A and B are shown apart, each in its own frame.
Chain A
Amino acid sequence: MPEQLLYAMEVTLNGLMAGVMYSLVALGFVLIFKASGIFNYAQGVLALFAALTLVGFQNGQVPFAHLLNAVFGTNLHEFGWHLPAVVAIVLTAVVMVLLAILVERFVLKHLVNQEPIILFMATIGLAYFLEGLGDLMWGADIKTLDVGLPQGISETVESVTDGIFGYGFFIDNLDIVATVVAALLVISLTLFSQYTKYGRALRAVADDHQAALSVGISLRFIWVLVWSIAGIVALVAGIMWGTKSGVQFSLSLIALKALPVLMLGGFTSIPGAIVGGLIIGVGEKLFEFLVGPWIGGATENWFAYVLALLFLVFRPQGLFGEKIIERV
């Protein structure tokens, strides 16, 4: 096989893997948007917050240590233990659920029946609040996250592809894990929403609030449920991205990468989020590989947005979004 083609294949594979990471973030947006029509600006910060909390738990950091030390003159920093990764993840998940309850109690409950733009503003506020809260609780320094996921280049893939094509593909182990985890996540979310009573209630609320109320569904409970799930998806995204590039403020910016994914996939479609992520991932890697050299590189910074723009012009509802037909 010609070498160029093999390169391209490798690039495509890498793009697919990167796409999965985008999809993970986009998924959180879609879940909340579907159920409540809210575009949750804080989704990225949610991932950052989850990652921070996870690291904090793992390292036995004392939450609010700076604050406590400043107010009470103590010198607390760490409890002095290291929690196993699994325990820390479970604890973080519990925190995300608590967070969902608090968000509902203090924000959403008071904004029932408000315009989407108001709700959007509220999530912007929430984003800044969480960002500050994260810093305050766990400190602003850059942290490394290690929950035991394999990292580095996968030797198995390299040797197998070398055996077949005479050319070893470089695939990151973490990307492989991320792909598997994302697939499991999507499958379980789909099963949950299709075949369980809460899933059905979730879809019901997403479809029609009034009808949902009439069959005895509590909207507030559903909101807590949705934000909890979104929080847990954010946790998964936080783990993957945090492991890859460290836990720091920039983690919250992955939300920006999710935007074009949503434009492509549609705001209301879970498969859309996945396929959109994959297209953007592959698209930007291939574009950089094929066209980048001709126009001076660094295309990855803007490719996704240009693609999204094109979609906005030609297919505003996205690939899988519901086509809105206004009948007179």
Chain B
Amino acid sequence: MNEMNSDGYTTADGRRIGGVLMEMKNITLRFGGVAAITDISFDIREGEIRAIIGPNGAGKSSMLNVISGFYIPQEGEVWFKGYKRGPMKPYQVARLGIARTFQNIALFDGMSVLDNIMTGRLTMMKSGLLGQAIWWGPAQGEETEHREKVEKIIDFLEIQPIRKTPVGRLPYGLKKRVELARALAAEPKLLLLDEPMAGMNVEEKEDMSRFILDVNDEFGTTIALIEHDMGVVMDISDRVVVMDYGKKIGDGTPDEVRKNQAVIDAYLGVAHD
């Protein structure tokens, strides 16, 4: 669909970025009369770490919610894997291969870490209700198979010690990691991270950055993340969209964005929190 963009590029550290995975075309989102997002377009390429940054209230979260189907924009089009996406329910978006985490962490507090991550694989389990109900044949084998996948992720994110712990009892930083694990369990084409480093100390931020890079490297997952803190994000992203007051004010590599006057103004010049 987007032939002109299908060639991709190579990053500074030598990773090959592919064609367009998702494209947002002229998105406008209003709540009543208030415009949260005004006419924004950008794309996310296969294998890329794409950040959307902006000061508080810039409309980043709204944008993420549009991508994940929690909000349906009044205007504009969302293209995914070369197809225009109609209005969809969040769970349908999830089944397309788009997994996400939440700024305020949405985990199942009463369930163990393992069970939480297993829910990430729900959409991939094939056996029917009856088979599940009587826990027989394929259903059993399937459970084992999914458990193996989940264990790989547990190992990858180094959360073995808390495997059986109810999520409600975990500290904040670990919850964030479990949420990432659950999103990863869905083997998503596109992983959306809503302020993955919010509320973390320097060390936790560094851990999280490393995990994000490792996920991208190890599984080739395309990652879109939003952050209001420029620091760490600029180090790990390939390309950055900058939003302010619901509008796009910059888009490019971290270096390009850093030099962009509009971006500098938004962050330093005019404070509006």
Contacts and interface: CB of A to CB of B under 8 A. Distances in A.
A195 B102 CA distance: 26
B119 A196 contact: no
Contacts of A219: 91
Given A198-B132, A201-B122, A207 B186 contact: no
Interface residues of B, number: 34
Interface stretch (B3-11, B110-118, B197-205, B264-272): B110-118
Given A196-B133, A213-B91, A218-B89, A208 B122 contact: no
Interface in A180-202: 191-192, 195-201
Nearest to B96: A216
Contacts of B125: 197
Contacts of B182: 215
A207 to B, nearest CB: 4
A83 interface: no
A206 B111 CA distance: 10
A200 B107 contact: no
Max chain A C-beta neighbours (<10 A), residue from B94, B102, B120: B94
Nearest to B143: A195
A207 B108 contact: yes
A217 B106 contact: no
Max chain B C-beta neighbours (<10 A), residue from A211, A213, A214: A214
A58 to B, nearest CB: 25
Nearest to B132: A196
B99 interface: yes
B247 interface: no
Contacts of B95: 216
Nearest to B129: A198
B177 interface: no
B139 A196 contact: yes
A95 interface: no
A200 B122 contact: yes
B229 to A, nearest CB: 23
Contact of A207 (B110, B123, B183): B110
Contacts of A103: none
Contacts of B18: none
Contacts of A197: 118, 122, 125, 127, 132, 143
A213 B90 contact: yes
A200 B94 contact: no
B237 interface: no
B105 to A, nearest CB: 9
B83 interface: no
A203 interface: yes
Contacts of B120: 215
19 contacts: A196-B139, A197-B122, A197-B125, A197-B127, A199-B132, A200-B118, A200-B119, A200-B122, A204-B122, A211-B102, A212-B119, A213-B89, A213-B90, A214-B106, A214-B183, A215-B122, A216-B91, A216-B95, A217-B122
Interface of B: 68, 70, 89-92, 94-95, 99-100, 102, 106-111, 115, 118-120, 122-123, 125, 127, 129, 132-133, 135, 139, 143, 182-183, 186
Sorted nearest first, the 5 A-B pairs with minimum C-beta distance are A216-B94, A211-B106, A207-B108, A216-B123, A213-B90
Given A212-B91, A215-B123, 17 more contacts: A192-B133, A196-B133, A197-B143, A200-B115, A200-B122, A203-B115, A208-B109, A213-B89, A213-B90, A213-B91, A213-B94, A214-B99, A215-B186, A216-B95, A216-B186, A217-B122, A218-B91
